[in-house]
Amino acid sequence: MNFDFKRMTQRELNIGLQEQKIRYGVGIGALLASVFMANIPLLVVGGVLVATAKLRWCPVYSGMSKSTVQPGEEMPAAGCCGGHH
């Protein structure tokens, strides 16, 4: 398995909707647990999971040329979520 560092820096949709939900759930759980346990590494992991879920982009997946996006899954329209306010 080759890892392409140049491709890793290119933002592309590579997290499917099902994995996005899992990342949100686990990430929020890790963030909440880190608050109660005062655990900084857990806070960082939770933050990364929530951020990658929000963007639907994982730089590690890009470097490995991996994607969990199913056919027909697309980014939301620019006017919907994260558009100009």
Q: Read off the pLDDT of residues 11-62 as tens digits, 9 standing for 90 and up.
A: 888 999 999 999 999 999 999 999 999 999 999 999 999 999 999 999 988 8
Confidence of residue 71 (pLDDT cuts 50, 70, 90): confident
Q: What are the residue boundaries of the structural domains of the chain, listed by start?
A: 26-65
Quick check: 53 and 29 in contact, CB under 8 A?
no
pLDDT top residue among 21 and 4:
21
pLDDT top residue among 8 and 39:
39
Percentages of the chain per state (helix, strand, coil), in multiples of 5: 55, 0, 45
Residue 84 is predicted with a pLDDT of: 41
Phi, psi of 20 (to 5 degrees): -60, -45
Q: In terms of Cα–Cα distance, which of 17, 13, 23 is closest to 66?
A: 13
Q: How far apart, in whole angstroms, are the C-alpha atoms of residue 70 and residue 18?
A: 9
Give me 46's structure tokens. Answer: 């939770």
Mean pLDDT of 63-76: 80
